[in-house]
Amino acid sequence: MRTMIHNGMSQESNRFPIIGFVQQYKRLVFGSHVRERGSESAKQHFYENISWLFMWYKNWRWEFSYMQQSDILHKYSVLVSYIVFCGTVILLYFNMKQANIFWELSAIGNFLFLLILAMLWYRKVWSFFFATMFIPKPRKKLSDKAQKNFKFRTLVYVTIILLQIALICVELLDCSQFQVINDIMETHAYGADINEICFTPWAITHAMDLTIGIIFLFTHISYVLKWIIALVVLIFHIIVVFVVYDFMFEYSTSSNPYFLPQYVHFMELCRVAWIFHIMNREIEFISRMDFNWKHELRKKKDNAKFTNETISILIGNILPAHIVNIYMKDHLASELCYEEYQNVAVMFATIRNYDTEQVGMRVLNEIICDFDEVLSTYQGFNKIEKIKVANWTYMAACGLSSTNSIIKRNRSNLENKESDFKLAASASEISGNSELQAPVALREVGLSNDVVFVMMRFALDLMKKMRQFNEENIQSDDKRTQGALRIGIANGPVMAGVVGLYKPFYDIWGNAVNLASRMDSTGLENCIQVPEETANILMSYDVQCTFRGMTFAKGLDYIPTYFVEIDDDFQFVQQRTDEAVT
Ligand SMILES: Nc1ncnc2c1ncn2[C@@H]1O[C@H](COP(=O)(O)OP(=O)(O)OP(=O)(O)O)[C@@H](O)[C@H]1O
């Protein structure tokens, strides 16, 4: 992005009138070609959107937001124009006779300038003098607002120029044409002091030069407004030079023997106006181009943010939220990162009576969508995480929350307790759990048996959903053609993580997973089969579990298994008090 901006900026700078000329010259002399790079469309957009004559954006929304930008140079512009104002006072003082009104206006001007400068500079001056002391910096509200407010900036600008022009006007008005002629004749006839003459033409022209300087000094003021004011000053000068005080200017000294002094005066002002205008145009161009690039950058940033969010959503559909955070935050994609959980409830739910060959993918998709809908209601602390759908089996787990886990990372075989702790803490930061102090605490949290009870409730909700699906989609009363769920649940320690380079897939491993799978494969339709340990937990929650018998589970031999007692509405049956496990 930075390279793109750099390329763009250097390309744009080649188009400045002066630099552009140098480039053209180089091409002519050395035959070199400047290779066009960077974002062509952004550049094209900029050129199409700007009016070269008026230096404004054709899009008024852009123009408005450009003008509303904060002008950090504003206080410096005001300071420089104050110096110029004082310079004008000194210039007129030494070259002309002053009336009282001149000093009154100077005093008003000084007062206004100092007021505005105090408003704009108080914070900077304060931090300059008191930065080392423990005096709090004054609030930046006023100076900041003044800098940001376009109307205020324009008002200050117009006031300064009016003050400057008024100063020249009072000097001129104080000198009537009759008095000027009289002064000149006295000077010639009686050898009177030249300082006694109330009017010095070059002083007026130079004061006008300074005014033109102030006009083009300010940035973030409408370019057209500046030109209108500059034209008014030029016309005012023409009237003074050629009409009202033509006699004085005609006989003033000339810096060019080939032109009449009046024209020399006018050309002087035009030259100054032209130079300042060119400089101002360059600054305006850079400033607008800078704004354009900022806008492009903001757009690209927004796009990048949107893409990032989309990626997060997509990955969030594949991986659990806290794993997404670790992946996105720490860029672990190429490293092994897995979690150890002390107690997770695992469920395998197989949809029976359907075969993809017979009913097609549509039925499977609809049922799984229904199940996912149920899943979306199991959020929060004991959130249920869908692991996968394998064939017609829906696999889910409860207790895979970041606060229950110890995260392990395999970074160059560097794995020790300390790093485990740090990562567990970072996971807790992500999930916002500040109670987490050490892995020991994690283990205690991870041992909560609520996960088993929540998993059982989820299994019952899936059964209800299955029945609803049958009612809505299957016409026949034949139980053999209707979908039925066979569910196995087990709990215990598991490991969870993402392995491999491509197609990140979150999975869980451990005895509890194998056992849950066996509980499903050896179970019965519309029943939830659990091993003894899980049954004991459920019974401690007052859920009636009935001993099924010794069931053969491959790899485990014969193990005692239980069915969770379910009524006709797919509600669990409360345990009879005499059987309750305490
Ligand atoms: N992460 C998992 N996802 C899906 N199924 C799993 C997962 N982990 C284990 N299982 C299933 O649990 C069952 C028992 O696992 P075990 O490791 O005992 O397999 P096995 O001895 O190879 O048995 P089988 O011959 O049935 O595959 C297997 O059927 C296996 O498919």
Our count of domains for the chain comes to 3
Mean pLDDT of 517-524: 96
Asked if 411 is an active-site residue, the reply is no
State which of 272, 300, 328 marks the end of a domain.
300
- Is the pLDDT at 36 greater than 50? The verdict is no
Range among 6-10, 112-116, 481-485 with highest mean pLDDT value: 112-116
- Per-residue confidence (pLDDT) for residue 194, from 0 to 100: 52
- Is the pLDDT at 291 greater than 50? The verdict is yes
- Phi, psi dihedral angles at 473 (to 5 degrees): -115, -25
Mean pLDDT of 319-332: 70
**Confidence grade of residue 14 (pLDDT, cut at 50, 70, 90):** low
The DSSP letter of residue 478 is: -
Higher confidence at residue 65 or residue 82?
Answer: 82
- Per-residue confidence (pLDDT) for residue 525, from 0 to 100: 94
pLDDT in tens, 81-96: 999 999 999 999 888 7
> Is 169 inside a domain boundary?
yes
**Nearest residue by C-alpha to atom 17 in ligand 1:** 514
Give the distance (Å) from ligand 1 centre to CA of residue 561: 18
- Is the pLDDT at 419 greater than 70? The verdict is no
Give the distance (Å) from ligand 1 centre to CA of residue 457: 24
Q: Tell me if 156 sits within 8 A of 118, measured CB to CB.
A: no
Q: Tell me, yes or no, whether 52 and 76 share the same domain.
A: no
Q: Tell me if 566 sits within 8 A of 572, measured CB to CB.
A: yes
- Per-residue confidence (pLDDT) for residue 359, from 0 to 100: 82
Give the distance (Å) from ligand 1 centre to CA of residue 338: 19
> Tokens for 564?
């969770």
- Per-residue confidence (pLDDT) for residue 191, from 0 to 100: 64
> Is 334 inside a domain boundary?
no
> Is 324 inside a domain boundary?
no
**Nearest residue by C-alpha to atom 25 in ligand 1:** 554
pLDDT in tens, 373-404: 999 999 888 899 999 999 999 999 999 987 76
Give the distance (Å) from ligand 1 centre to CA of residue 514: 5
Q: Tell me, yes or no, whether 277 and 353 share the same domain.
A: no
Higher confidence at residue 455 or residue 253?
Answer: 455
Ligand 1 atom closest to 507 (CA): 1
- Per-residue confidence (pLDDT) for residue 25, from 0 to 100: 46
Higher confidence at residue 129 or residue 438?
Answer: 129
Ligand 1 atom closest to 508 (CA): 1
Mean pLDDT of 483-499: 93
**Confidence grade of residue 335 (pLDDT, cut at 50, 70, 90):** low
CATH number of domain containing 403: 3.30.70.1230
- Per-residue confidence (pLDDT) for residue 388, from 0 to 100: 94
Domain, as residue range, for 37: 2-57
Q: Which of 61, 137, 518, 548 is catalytic?
A: 518
**Nearest residue by C-alpha to atom 24 in ligand 1:** 554
**Nearest residue by C-alpha to atom 30 in ligand 1:** 514
Give the distance (Å) from ligand 1 centre to CA of residue 391: 14
Nearest-angstrom CA–CA distance, 562 and 560 = 7
- Is the pLDDT at 410 greater than 80? The verdict is no
The DSSP secondary structure of 390-406, one letter per residue, reads ETTEEEEEE---GGGEE
pLDDT in tens, 192-211: 555 556 778 899 999 999 99
Higher confidence at residue 381 or residue 307?
Answer: 307
Ligand 1 pocket: which of 494, 514, 552 to mutate (most atoms within 8 A of CB):
514
- Is the pLDDT at 250 greater than 50? The verdict is yes
Instruction: Round the average pLDDT of the chain to a whole number and report it.
Output: 81
Nearest-angstrom CA–CA distance, 540 and 543 = 7
Ligand 1 pocket: which of 511, 513, 559 to mutate (most atoms within 8 A of CB):
513
**Confidence grade of residue 171 (pLDDT, cut at 50, 70, 90):** confident
Asked if 554 is an active-site residue, the reply is yes
Ligand 1 pocket: which of 507, 508, 554 to mutate (most atoms within 8 A of CB):
554
- Is the pLDDT at 106 greater than 60? The verdict is yes
Mean pLDDT of 492-509: 87
Give the distance (Å) from ligand 1 centre to CA of residue 517: 7
- Is the pLDDT at 307 greater than 50? The verdict is yes
Angle at Cα 457 formed by Cα 579 and Cα 377, nearest 5°?
160
Q: Tell me if 529 sits within 8 A of 521, measured CB to CB.
A: no
Amino acid identity of residue 89, one-letter, is: V
Residue 510's alpha-carbon distances to 231, 313, 517, in angstroms, are 86, 28, 11
Mean pLDDT of 132-151: 73
Give the distance (Å) from ligand 1 centre to CA of residue 336: 22
> Is 498 inside a domain boundary?
yes
Query: Which residues does 5 contact at the CB level (< 8 Å), separation at least 6?
Result: 293, 297
Kindly report the number of other CB atoms within 10 A of residue 164's CB atom.
Answer: 25
- Per-residue confidence (pLDDT) for residue 68, from 0 to 100: 87
Q: Tell me, yes or no, whether 379 and 498 share the same domain.
A: yes
**Nearest residue by C-alpha to atom 26 in ligand 1:** 554
> Is 573 inside a domain boundary?
no
**Nearest residue by C-alpha to atom 10 in ligand 1:** 514
Q: Tell me, yes or no, whether 402 and 492 share the same domain.
A: yes
Give the distance (Å) from ligand 1 centre to CA of residue 395: 12
What is the SS3 string spanning 540-580? Answer: HCCECEEEEEEEEECCCEEEEEEEECECCCCCECECCHHHC
Lowest mean pLDDT among 174-183, 236-245, 253-262: 174-183
Mean pLDDT of 522-545: 96
Nearest to 72 by CA among 154, 152, 143, 159: 143
Q: Which of 226, 298, 554, 576 is catalytic?
A: 554
The DSSP secondary structure of 29-59, one letter per residue, reads HH---PPP-S-HHHHHHHHHHEETTTTEESS
Residue 557's alpha-carbon distances to 26, 215, 384, 518, 553, in angstroms, are 89, 96, 30, 11, 5
> Is 512 inside a domain boundary?
yes
By percentage, how much of the chain surpasses pLDDT 70?
79
Q: Tell me, yes or no, whether 371 and 269 share the same domain.
A: no
pTM given for the model: 0.58
Q: Tell me, yes or no, whether 87 and 45 share the same domain.
A: no
Nearest-angstrom CA–CA distance, 200 and 195 = 9
> Is 566 inside a domain boundary?
no
**Confidence grade of residue 488 (pLDDT, cut at 50, 70, 90):** very high
**Confidence grade of residue 39 (pLDDT, cut at 50, 70, 90):** low
Give the distance (Å) from ligand 1 centre to CA of residue 516: 9
Q: Tell me, yes or no, whether 349 and 465 share the same domain.
A: yes
Mean pLDDT of 467-474: 90
Q: Tell me, yes or no, whether 198 and 215 share the same domain.
A: yes
**Nearest residue by C-alpha to atom 23 in ligand 1:** 554
**Confidence grade of residue 504 (pLDDT, cut at 50, 70, 90):** confident
**Nearest residue by C-alpha to atom 9 in ligand 1:** 514
Range among 164-168, 355-359, 403-407 with highest mean pLDDT value: 164-168
Higher confidence at residue 117 or residue 257?
Answer: 117
Ligand 1 atom closest to 510 (CA): 8
- Per-residue confidence (pLDDT) for residue 329, from 0 to 100: 66
Q: Tell me, yes or no, whether 78 and 149 share the same domain.
A: yes
Nearest-angstrom CA–CA distance, 481 and 134 = 83
Q: Tell me, yes or no, whether 97 and 75 share the same domain.
A: yes
Q: Tell me, yes or no, whether 122 and 40 share the same domain.
A: no
Ligand 1 binding pocket, CB closer than 6 Å = 390, 395, 507-509, 513-514, 517-518, 554-555
State which of 242, 276, 300 marks the end of a domain.
300
**Nearest residue by C-alpha to atom 13 in ligand 1:** 514
State which of 15, 38, 57 marks the end of a domain.
57
Taken in order 313, 316, 321, 327, is the CA torsion positive or negative?
negative
Give the distance (Å) from ligand 1 centre to CA of residue 291: 61
Ligand 1 atom closest to 556 (CA): 18
Nearest to 526 by CA among 391, 386, 363, 349: 349
Higher confidence at residue 467 or residue 322?
Answer: 467
> Is 582 inside a domain boundary?
no
Q: Tell me, yes or no, whether 70 and 53 share the same domain.
A: no
**Nearest residue by C-alpha to atom 18 in ligand 1:** 514
Mean pLDDT of 266-284: 93
**Confidence grade of residue 338 (pLDDT, cut at 50, 70, 90):** confident
Ligand 1 pocket: which of 385, 389, 394, 517 to mutate (most atoms within 8 A of CB):
517
**Confidence grade of residue 514 (pLDDT, cut at 50, 70, 90):** very high
Ligand 1 atom closest to 517 (CA): 12
